[in-house]
Structure 1
Amino acid sequence: MRSSAPTIRSTASSSKSHQPGRRQGQPAAGADHCVRSDLHVVSHRDQIVLSADGVQLVLDLSSGAPVVRHWGSPLGDVESDALRRMTTPPIPHSAVDVPQDPGVMRERGRAFHGRPALSGNRNGLDWAPLFRIVEHHASETETSIRLHDAEASLTIDLRYRIEPTGIVLVDLAAVNDGSEPYRLEELTTWMPLPERASESLDFTGRWLKERQPQRRPIAVGSWVLESREGRSGHGASVVQCAMTGGAGFANGEVWALGLLWSGEHRHLIERGTDGRTAMGAGELLQSGEMVLAPGARYQAPTVAAAYSDEGLDGLSSRYHEWLRARPEHPTRVRPRPVTLNVWEAVYFDHDLERLSALVDVAAEIGVERFVLDDGWFGARRDDRAGLGDWVVSDEAWPQGLDPLIDRVTAAGMEFGLWFEGEMVNPDSDLYRAHPEWILHVPGRTPPTGRNQQVLDLTHDGAYEHVLGQVDALLSKHPISYIKWDHNRPLVDPAHYGRPAVNSQTLAIYRLFDELKSRHPGLEIESCASGGGRVDLGMAMHADRFWTSDSNDALERQEIQRYSMIAIPPEMLGTHIGPSTSHSSSRSHSLSFRAATALFGHAGIEWDITETTNAERSLLAEWAAYYKANRDLLHSGRVVRVDHSDTAALVHGVVAHDRSAAIFCYTQVAAAGGVLPSPALIPGLDPDARYRVRRIEPAGRAPAMQHADPMWVDGVTTTGAALATIGLRPPILHPEQAILIEIVLA
C-alpha cells in the first residue's frame, strides 16, 4: 500500500479546530467547515475529498443531498464542477425532466427506483422522506453530515472517516424528531460502484466448511445475502466484494464492504436498468424490532469500505493493517502463544491424571497456553446438562481446578478455560430457577439445539448471573484466556415477545468489554460451533476466532485462505489435529497438518500423549519454528497466488520491507500433468537477491519421484526471477505440502 498521509479538500468554508470524542455519527458543535442551510442547494462549490494511501472518496454536497461522486483511486485535482459535469447523465425519454442523483439515501423523491437506504413509516405515513443537508463538518480525516426532513420529522446523521490504510468507515444513524413512534424497518449503508465493476465475490458455507467463495457476474437487479440465525453464521460473508472482470489475488480493482456487526445482517449489490450500480450493507431488523420513540436514535453498525487496485491481496492488506493499527490488537500486546486445546484429546472425560499427562507432553513440545474445554462445570458430563451453571463440578474436579492450574503454570504455560455463557441447558440449576430467562415468544418454548436454549442476556438478571459467575472464576484463578462458544442459531429470539437480536448482540459486546475491563490482559476467543461468528464486529471485542470446528488440513486450506480476506492470520486459530480427523475421517501426514496450521495463531488439538517420540520431536521443531517466525507470520502481507493448476494452492506471507517470506505449496489433488506447474512467488523486491530453500519443521512431505528439484537444497536468485519463473515443486502425493523459506542473500 501507499504511504501518503490522509488529506481532505473542501471548498465549503473556513477552517476551525476539530473536536474529537463525540458520539458516533453525531456532528460536533463548532467543528470545521460548518454549513447550516435549509435551502435546496447549499453551494455549487461544496465538495469534500478524503484521501489516504492511494484511496480517494469524493463527496458532492451541492444539490442539498450528499452524493458520492467517486470512491477509488485518486483523481488528481479535479474541480467539483468538472466532476459533476462528467458524471451527470443525459436525460432519457420516459424520465423526469431534470437530472437527478439519488445520493447516499437513494430516496424515491429524487426519482430513484431502486432500494432506498431507509425504510419505515409512522402509522403508514412518513414512508418516503426527502432529506436535505442542514449542516456538515469536516476535519483532516473525516466529515459529518446532518440531513433532515421536516415533513417526516426525521434526521439522519452520516459520517465518513478515512483511516491511514485507506479504509473508509461509514456511520449512519436515524433520529425520530416526531411526536409519534417511527417504525424503522431498514437502514442500509450504500456505496456506489463504477459500471466496470462487473463481478461479485462473496462467501457461503456450513459447519465444518465455512467461507467458501462464490463468484458471479453483476447483472441488472439485486443480489442479496442475508443472515437470519441471530449470529453472523457459518455461511456469512465477512465482506462482500465487487470486482473488475477477471480480477484475482494480485490484479484488478476490488471494492468491498465489511459490516462491524455480529447479529443478523444483509449484504446487497444492485444494478439498475440505467447501469447505476451500488453495494450496501446493514443490520437485518426483524419486524417491529426497531420502533423509535420520540427523540430516539438508531445507530446502524459501522461499515468498513475498502478499495484496492492490487486485487484481493491488496484488499486484504488494507483490512489487516487497519485492524493491526488498533492499540488493543493482540500482537501489539504480546506474541501469539502456541496453544493446546484439549477438546479432541479428552472431550468430556475430565480426569486430573490424564490431563496432567497432557500438560507434561505439552511442556516438552513447547506449548505456551493450555486450554481446558467443555465439561468442567455443573452437571456437564455430556452435552445434555449443566450449561448455565458456571461453577466447578465437584464430581469432575473434587479438588477444584487448582491442582491442574498449578500443574500448568509450574510447567511455564498459561491456563485458559471454556465457556458458553449465552446458552443454558434445560437440565441445569439456572433453568430450573429461571425458565423465563431464555429468548422466547410468550406461550411457547423454542426447539432445543444441541440440547440447549439461548439465554436472554438482555434480561438484567440473566446478564448479571453470567457476568458474576465468570468474573468469580477469573478472580479466583490465574485464567488469562477464555474460549467462548455459541453452539446454536437463535430461534424465536424475543425478549418479552419483542424481537431482541439487536439487543442480544449488544449485550455480548458489553459483557466481553466488561470482563476485559475487570481483568486487564484477558484474551477472548470467539467460537460459534467453529466459525459461526467470524466478523468485523466481533473483531472489535475478541482477540481470536476459532476458524472452524474442522481440523481436517485439506478443508482448512480453503477455509483459512478466505477467512483471511479481512481477518489477519494472527486472529485465526489454526491447530494441528489428530492424524485422522474427527470431522471427516481423512488421515493426513504430520507434515501436511503442521504446514497448514503454521499460517495463523498456531496450536494443537490432539491427544499428544499418544504420539511417538519421533512425532513429539517434530512437533517441538515445528513449535520452535513458529515461535522464531511468528513476528513475520503475524505482521507481513498475506499473498495468495493465482496458480495455473487448480490441483494446487500457493500462498505465503511477505515482510513489509520485503526482506523475508515464508510460502506454502499445497498439492490438494493429483497434478494434471507429469510435472507440477511452477509456483510463482510474487511480492518480493524484484532487484534484490534472495536465498531460497525448502524447510521441513515437521518432517518431509512424501513425493512420487526419483529426485527432488534442484532448488530445494538451496538456491540464490532475484525477486524478479521468483515472481516470473518461480520454483518447480516436487511431485508430491495429493494432500501434501511443502514450506519455502526466502531471506535476503
Structure 2
Amino acid sequence: MSPRRTPVDTAVTAPRAGATHRVHLTAAGVSLVLDVTDGRIPAIVHWGAALGVSGGDGPTGTAREPGTAGEPGTAGGPEPPNRSAALGAAALDALCEAAVDVVPNNAVDVPVRLGIIPQQCDGWIGRPGLTGSRADGSGWAPRLVTRSLHLEGRPLTEPHVETGPARLRVDLADENLGLAVALDIELLESGLLRLRAALTNTLETPYDLDELTLALPVPGDADELLDFAGRWGKERTPQRSRFTVGTHLRENRRGRTGADATHVLHAARPGLGFRTGEAWAVHTAHSGNHRHLAEQINTGTRLLGGGELLLPGEVRLGAGEQYVGPWLYASYGAGLDDVAHRFHRHLRSRPHHVDPRRPVTLNVWEAVYFDHDLARLTDLADRAAALGVERYVLDDGWFGSRRDDTSGLGDWIVSADVWPDGLGPLIDHVRGLGMEFGLWFEPEMVNEDSDVARAHPEWIMAPAPDRIPLESRHQQVLNLSIPAAYAHVRDQMSALLETYDIDYLKWDHNRDLLEAATRATGRAAVHEQTLATYRLMDELKATHPGLEIESCSSGGARVDLEILERTDRVWVSDCIDPLERQQMNRWTSQLIPLELMGSHIASGRSHSTGRLHTLGFRAATAVFGHLGIEWDLAAATEEELEELREWIAFYTSRRELLLTGDLVRADRGESALWVHGVVAADRGSAVFSLAAVGRSAESQHERLRFPGLDPAATYRLRPVRIGPRPSGLTMPPWMTRAAEEDGLLVPGAALTHSGLAAPLLDPEQALLIDISRARCTDHLPGPGGPGDPIERR
C-alpha cells in the first residue's frame, strides 16, 4: 500500500487528568449520547429514540457548543435543529452513570466499558476493534485514550454539551505504541449516524494494520437479526436469525460489495416489520472486501459493527502514514420503513444527488447482445423514441475484438470491423431523435485474449509472476493500482468521451477478485484496487462535467453507499424477471431510494428465468425505480407497443412523485399480496402497487391499508387502467365503483387505519392505485344525495 502521508499533530493538548465529557446530539427523532469518562475512549450510552423535553433550553450548566445562538459551528443565525430537546447536565450525568454495569464474579475489577473501538484494556473480551503489530510483535494490544475533542471544528472544553446534528472529532492516541486515531462521529439531519476512524503511525518503525472495526451497542432485548444473502440473479434475499452469544460475522472477500452482501445488518426487538418494532441497523460503505458483525458476550452486552476487511500486508504504515477507514452508517427506526427513510433522506440531501426527472432508458443488451449492426440499432432507436424513451445505451460488444465474451476486454478502442465509421453515425442518429447516449465499459477487467494483456501481462492481478487466477467469464482483473495500467484505462476512456457526445457510462464489473495481488510482488492489492476505482470515477467525472455513471457489477453486486458517492444509479440485478424483481427491488430499497435503482421492463419471456409474464406485471413492477426497457422492440406487437407507450406516459407523468416520495411497504411481508407505494412529502398524492407474488392459503387477503397519508384529509382513489385487465382480477365493490366513475372519495382515516377490502388476483399479476388529495369542490357521497363539500385544507 501507499498510505496517505499526513503530519502528526503534536500540538494538540490532552484533556486534564480525569477529564470527563458528556455529549448529546439529537436530530429527526434520534438521540446519541456519548460519554468520555476520565479521558477514556468514547462510549455510546444511548443511540435510539430522541431524549429530552421539548420547549426548554435545559438546566443551567448545559453548554451550547459550538455557538449559543447560531447554526452548528457558527455564531448568529437560527438554533440548531432539535436544540430545544435538552436534558441538562445533571440528567446527562445521571444517564451516563446509570449505564455503568455491575462487576460480575470472576471478571475484571472494574465495570467493563464498550468503546466505539472495542479494546481489551477496557475489559472487553469480544472481538477487538483495532489489531495490528510491528515487526517485533508489539503494538497488538493498544490502550487508546482521548487527547482532544472538537465539535464542528471547535475545541470542546465544556463537560456537558447538547446540540442538534453535528460532527464530533475525537483524537485518540496510545503514545507508547506510537498509534493515533482520528475518530469522526456525525449525526446527520436525517437522524442517520455515521462513524469513521483514521489510524496514523507516529513511530519510525512500520506498523502492519490487520483490522479497524467500529462498534455500536444495541439493547439486550434486540433479540432478532435481519440481514441479506443472495447470488447472481437473486440479489438481496432477506434472512432472519436469533441474536445469541457469539459472533454473527459476515465477511466479504469478493473484492466487490457482492451479490450475497450483508447490505444492511439489523438488530431488532421482537415484532420487527415494515412499520412495527424498534430496529438498529448498520451499513459498511465500502466497495471492496468488508465485514459486518453482530456480537454478544456472556455478560449480555450486544453490538453491531463493521469495517474494511484487509488482506495480509495490504496496509503497512510507515512513519507519519495514515489509513482512513470507510464510513460505518447506522440507522435507528421504529420499523424497517423508518430505518430505510433515514438512509434515503440522507442520500437525497446531498448536493450532487440525481435530478428526479430521470430519463427513461433503453438498454440494447437483451435485444442484440454482441450482434452490433448499425441498421438494426438505429431501428431500435427509432422505435424507442416513438415510445417516449429519453436515453439510449449501447452495451457490450462495440470495441476491439469483442464479438463474444472471450476476447477484447480491456481494449477500449471502437472496433473498425463492426463500426467502420466509428460510433458517430449511431450517436448522431440517437441524439437527432432527442435522446441521450450511453455506452458500456468494464474498466477494471481484461481478457487474456486482448491487445493490452498481450502487451502487459504484468498488469493482470495474480499472486505470482508464474501463476494466474482461475478465469471467470473468460476474464481477469486489470490492476489499476499500477500507475501505467490506470493511465491506460483512463486515457482510452477519456479519448472516447472527448470524441463522442456521451452522457452516460454503464460501468460493469463481472467477476470476483480472487488471488488479487500485484503480479510482480505477490502483495495483496484489493484495498488499492478499490481506491483506484474510486479515483478513476472521480477523475472522469471531474474532467467531463455532467457525466452520469451506473454501477453495474454482474447485476447488483456493487451496491453500497461509497460507490454511490460517485455513481448515479445501480443496476439492481441482471435478472429482470418481474417476480424476482419484486423481491430484489423491495430489499434494495432498504438502503437506497428508488431513483437510484435501475428498473427495466424486459421481454415477455425472461432471459434469466424463462418465465412468461404479462406486460402489465412487468411494467407495474418496473415503474417503482429509474425506469428503462431491455427488450427487442422490433419483436413486439403493435398492441404491446401501444401498451408500453401508455406505461411510459404514466411513469413520466408521475416521475417526480415516484422518485422523490417516501417509500411505504404496507403488507406484513408474509402475505401473497405485497402492498407498497410512494407517498409525496406533502401527503397530497401517492401511487400504490398491489402485487400478487404467490397464492394465499386464505381465500381472501388482509384489508388494504395505505400508511403515510393524512388521516384528516380526503383522497380520491383511481385504479390505474393500462392494457388488458390483470388475470384473475376480482374487484371489491369500492374498487368497481372507483373504476367505473372518476375515482372514489375515501376519508384518509379509513385508508390509514380501518382499510379497504382487497381484490383477488392470479399469481404474478399487479394492479396500481393512484391516490390524490381531494379538491375543496369534491363531495363525499352521502345517503340520497351527492354529499357535503370537502372543506378546504
The two structures have a TM-score, normalised by structure 2, of 0.88
Give the structure 1 partner of residue 50 of structure 2.
Answer: 74
For residues 541 and 27 of structure 1, do their structure 2 counterparts lie closer, same or farther at Cα, with a shift above 3 Å needed? farther
How far apart are residue 648 of structure 1 and its match? 1.6
Partner residue in 2 for 1:726: 755
The yes-or-no answer on 1:582 pairing with 2:560 is no
Cα gap change, 1:193 to 1:558, in 2 (>3 Å): same
Tell whether the 8 Å contact from 1:645 to 1:677 is kept in structure 2 after alignment: no
Q: Does 1:88 align with 2:100?
A: yes
Instruction: Give 1:132's aligned amino acid.
Output: V
- Aligned mate of 1:342, from 341, 354, 364: 364
> Aligned residue for 1:461?
484
Aligned partners of 1:427, 1:468: CA distance in 2, in Å?
Answer: 21
Q: Which residue of structure 1 aligns with residue 23 of structure 2?
A: 48
Which residue of the partner structure matches residue 133 of structure 1?
A: 146
Alignment of 1:211-360 (within 5 A): 211-308=236-333, 310-331=334-355, 335-360=357-382
CA separation of 1:25 and 1:556: change in aligned 2, threshold 3 A:
farther
Q: Output the CA distance in 2 between the equivalents of 1:253 and 1:181.
A: 45
Shift in CA distance, 359/428, structure 1 to aligned 2, threshold 3 Å: same
Aligned to 2:110: 98
Distance 2:708 2:556 in 1: 29
- Change beyond 3 A, Cα 1:560–1:26: farther
In structure 1, what residue type is equivalent to 2:201?
N
Structure 1: how far apart are the matches of 2:103 and 2:732? Answer: 69
Distance (whole Å) between structure 2 residues aligned to residue 402 and residue 475 of structure 1: 12
**Shift, 1:396, TM fit:** 1.0
* Aligned mates of 1:706, 1:158 — CA distance in 2: 57
Q: What is the alpha-carbon distance in structure 2 between the residues aligned to residue 408 and residue 299 of structure 1? A: 44
Question: In terms of mean alpha carbon deviation, does 724-733 or 562-571 score higher?
Answer: 724-733
Partners in 2 of 1:711 and 1:410 — Cα distance? 45
How far did residue 712 of structure 1 move?
4.3
Structure 1 stretches lacking a partner, 5+ long: 1-22
Amino acid corresponding to residue 42 of structure 1 in structure 2: A
The 5 Å alignment of 1:381-400 reads 381-400=403-422
Which SS does the other structure have where 1:615 is aligned? helix
Q: Tell me, what secondary structure is at the counterpart of 2:223?
A: strand
The residue aligned with 2:630 is 605
Closer/same/farther in 2, CA of residues 25 and 662 from structure 1, 3 Å limit: farther
Alpha-carbon offset, residue 711 of structure 1:
4.8
Q: Secondary structure at the match of 1:407?
A: helix
Would the aligned equivalents of 2:559 and 2:570 in 1 still touch at CA under 8 Å?
A: yes
8 Å Cα contact 1:571/1:601 also seen in 2: yes
1:12 is matched with: none
- Are 1:154 and 2:179 matched, yes or no? yes
2: distance between equivalents of 1:98 and 1:726?
A: 55
- Tell whether the 8 Å contact from 1:27 to 1:136 is kept in structure 2 after alignment: no
* CA distance in 1: counterparts of 2:8 and 2:362, whole angstroms: 48
Deviations 1:77-107 (A, max 9, x none): 1533211221111222212222231322221
Residues 530 and 164 of structure 1: CA distance in aligned 2, closer, same or farther (over 3 Å): same
Q: Map residues 418-429 of structure 1 onto 2, 5 A cutoff.
A: 418-429=440-451
Q: 736, 750, 753: which is aligned to 1:710?
A: 736
Classify the secondary structure of the residue corresponding to 1:330.
coil
Structure 2 CA distance for aligned equivalents of residues 49 and 120 of structure 1: 32
Aligned to 2:60: none
Aligned 1:190-209 pairs, distance under 5 A: 190-209=215-234
| Of 133, 147, 171, the match for 1:121 | 133
The 1:695/1:445 distance shift into structure 2, 3 A limit, reads: same
Aligned to 2:200: 175
The answer to whether the 8 Å contact 2:357/2:656 transfers is yes
Find the counterpart in structure 2 of residue 529 from structure 1.
Answer: 554
Q: Which amino acid in structure 1 is aligned with residue 714 of structure 2?
A: R
CA distance in 1, matches of 2:7, 2:709: 44
| Per-residue deviation, 1:112 | 1.3
Aligned match of 1:673 in 679, 693, 698? Answer: 698
DSSP-derived class of the 1:681 partner: coil
What CA deviation, in whole Å up to 9, does each residue of 1:298-344 have, x standing for no partner?
11101111111x2110111110010011111112xx61110000000
| Amino acid aligned to 1:230 | G
**Deviation of 1:244 (Å):** 1.1
- What does residue 18 of structure 1 align with? none
2:13, 2:641 → 1: CA distance? 68
Q: CA deviation at 1:251?
A: 1.4
Q: 1:644 to 1:236 in 2, by over 3 A?
A: closer
Shift of 1:672: 2.3
Shift of 1:24: 13
Structure 1: how far apart are the matches of 2:638 and 2:5? 56
Residues 667-702 of structure 1: per-residue CA shift (max 9 Å, x gap)? 111232233332221110011100001103354312
What TM-score, normalized to structure 1?
0.93
Provide the rounded CA distance (Å) in 1 between the counterparts of 2:421 and 2:455: 27
CA contact (8 A) 1:523 1:543 kept: yes
Change (3 A) 1:35 1:659: farther
Moved more, 697-706 or 238-247: 697-706
SS at match of 1:36: coil
C-alpha spacing 1:428/1:317, structure 2 compared with 1 (3 Å): same
Task: Determine the C-alpha separation between the residues in 2 that align with 1:94 and 1:169.
Answer: 36
Contact 2:115/2:215 (<8 A) preserved: no
Using a 3 Å threshold, how does the CA distance of structure 1 residues 544 and 585 change in structure 2: closer, same or farther? same
8 Å contact from structure 2 (residues 103, 112) kept in 1: no
Matched, 1:518 2:543: yes
Q: How many residues align?
A: 714
CA distance in 1, matches of 2:404, 2:347: 38
How far residue 27 of structure 1 moved from its aligned partner, in angstroms, is 11
- Alignment partners' CA distance in 1, 2:26 and 2:729: 53
Supply the distance in 2 between the matched residues of 1:36 and 1:396 (Cα, whole angstroms). 67
Q: Displacement of 1:35 after TM fit?
A: 6.5
Paired with 1:704 and 1:656, the residues of 2 have a C-alpha distance of 31
Deviation string, structure 1 residues 610-666 (Cα, Å, up to 9, x no partner): 111111111111111111111111111101123375212111001111101100001
In structure 2, C-alpha distance between the alignment counterparts of 1:510 and 1:202, rounded to whole Å: 30
Q: Deviations over 1:411-445 (max 9, x none)?
A: 11011000011111111111111111111111201
Do the aligned partners of 1:340 and 1:367 also contact (CA within 8 Å) in 2? yes
Contact 1:456/1:462 (<8 A) preserved: yes
Kindly indicate whether the alpha-carbon contact (under 8 Å) linking 2:731 and 2:760 is maintained by their aligned counterparts in 1: no
The 8 Å contact of residues 572 and 588 in structure 2, kept in 1 or not, is answered as yes
Superposed displacement of residue 290, structure 1:
1.2
Name the aligned partner's letter for residue 267 of structure 1: H
Match of residue 652, structure 1, among 673, 677, 686: 677
Paired residue type of 1:484: W
Q: Please, which runs of 5 or more residues in structure 2 have no aligned partner?
A: 53-86, 153-162, 775-793
**Counterpart Cα distance in 2 of 1:27 and 1:711:** 73
Backbone CA RMSD of aligned residues: 1.9
Q: Give the letter aligned to residue 720 of structure 2.
A: I
Please identify runs of 4+ aligned residues in structure 1 that moved more than 6 A.
23-30
Residue 570 of structure 1 deviates from its aligned partner by: 0.4
Deviates more, 1:231-240 or 1:595-604: 231-240
- For the pair 1:739 / 2:746, whether they are aligned, the reply is no
Letter in structure 2 aligned against 1:311: G
